[in-house]
Structure 1
Amino acid sequence: MGKSISHTGASMGYGWDEEKEAKVVYREHLAGDNPKEITEEFKIIQSQNQRCKKNTMSFVLSPTIKDGQELKDKQLTEITQRFVKEMKLQELQAIAFVHRNKNHLHIHLYVNRIGFDGKAYKDNFIGKRSQQAAEKVAQQMGLTTVREVQQERLNQIQNVRQELRQIHEKVLTEMKPKDFDQYIRYMKQKDIEVIPSINKANQLQGFRIAYKGQNLKGSEVHRSMSMGRIAEHIDFAKIASQKIVKDNSLELLGKTVGISPNIAATIAKRVIKIGFKKTIGLGMEI
Structure 2
Amino acid sequence: MIGKGQSISRTQASIAYGWNQEKEAEVVLKEHLAGDTPKQIAEEFQIIQSQNERCIKNTLSFVVSPTIKDGKELSHKDLEKIAQRFINEMKLQNHQAIGFVHKDKQHTHIHIYANRISLTGQTYRDNFIGKRSQIAADNVAKQLGLTRVREVQQEKIQELKWQRLVIQKHHQQVMETRPKSLDEYIDKMKACKVKVIPSINKSNQLQGFRFEYKGANLKGSEVHRSMSGSKLIAEISQNNSYTRLREVPQTLKLLNNTVELSTNMAGKIAKDLAKQVIKRGLDTGLGMGY
Whole-angstrom distance in 2 between the partners of 1:137 and 1:208: 32
Which residue of the partner structure matches residue 88 of structure 2? Answer: 85
Amino acid at match of 1:210: K
1:54 aligned counterpart, secondary structure: coil
Residue in structure 1 matching 2:125, options 122, 126, 135? 122
Residues 128, 158 of structure 1: alpha-carbon distance in 2 compared, 3 angstrom cutoff: same
Instruction: Determine if the alignment matches structure 1 residue 52 to structure 2 residue 30.
Output: no
Whole-angstrom distance in 1 between the partners of 2:127 and 2:218: 34
Residue in structure 1 matching 2:32, options 8, 29, 34? 29
Q: Is the 8 A contact 1:210 1:216 kept in 2?
A: no
2:62 aligned counterpart, secondary structure: strand
Instruction: Determine if the alignment matches structure 1 residue 147 to structure 2 residue 150.
Output: yes
Q: Is the 8 A contact 1:56 1:112 kept in 2?
A: yes
1:36 aligned counterpart, secondary structure: helix
Q: Is the 8 A contact 2:95 2:114 kept in 1?
A: yes
Which structure has the larger Rg? 1
Shift of 1:221: 8.2
- TM-score of the superposition, structure 2-length normalised? 0.58
Residues 196, 130 of structure 1: alpha-carbon distance in 2 compared, 3 angstrom cutoff: closer
Shift of 1:163: 7.7
- What is the root-mean-square deviation of aligned Cα atoms in Å? 2.6
Whole-angstrom distance in 2 between the partners of 1:3 and 1:208: 29
Which residue of the partner structure matches residue 102 of structure 1? Answer: 105
Amino acid at match of 1:65: I
Which residue of the partner structure matches residue 7 of structure 1? Answer: 10
Instruction: Determine if the alignment matches structure 1 residue 210 to structure 2 residue 214.
Output: yes
Q: RCO (CA 8 Å, sep 6+): is it higher in 1 or 2?
A: 2
Shift of 1:30: 0.5
Which residue of the partner structure matches residue 39 of structure 1? Answer: 42
- TM-score of the superposition, structure 1-length normalised? 0.58
1:82 aligned counterpart, secondary structure: helix
Residue in structure 1 matching 2:68, options 65, 69, 74? 65
Which residue of the partner structure matches residue 134 of structure 1? Answer: 137
Instruction: Determine if the alignment matches structure 1 residue 75 to structure 2 residue 75.
Output: no
Shift of 1:159: 3.3
1:147 aligned counterpart, secondary structure: helix
Whole-angstrom distance in 2 between the partners of 1:94 and 1:165: 46
Q: Which runs of 5+ in 1 are unaligned?
A: 167-193, 198-206, 223-286
Whole-angstrom distance in 2 between the partners of 1:138 and 1:30: 26
Q: Is the 8 A contact 1:165 1:221 kept in 2?
A: yes
Shift of 1:210: 3.2
Amino acid at match of 1:141: L
Q: Which runs of 5+ in 2 are unaligned?
A: 170-192, 197-210, 225-290
Q: 1:167-182 counterparts in 2 under 5 A?
A: none
Whole-angstrom distance in 2 between the partners of 1:127 and 1:164: 30
Whole-angstrom distance in 2 between the partners of 1:215 and 1:135: 23
Whole-angstrom distance in 2 between the partners of 1:66 and 1:35: 31
Task: String of CA shifts for 1:137-176, please: whole Å, max 9, x gaps.
Answer: 100000000111111111122234458999xxxxxxxxxx
Shift of 1:119: 1.5
Amino acid at match of 1:137: V
| Percent of aligned positions that are identical | 61
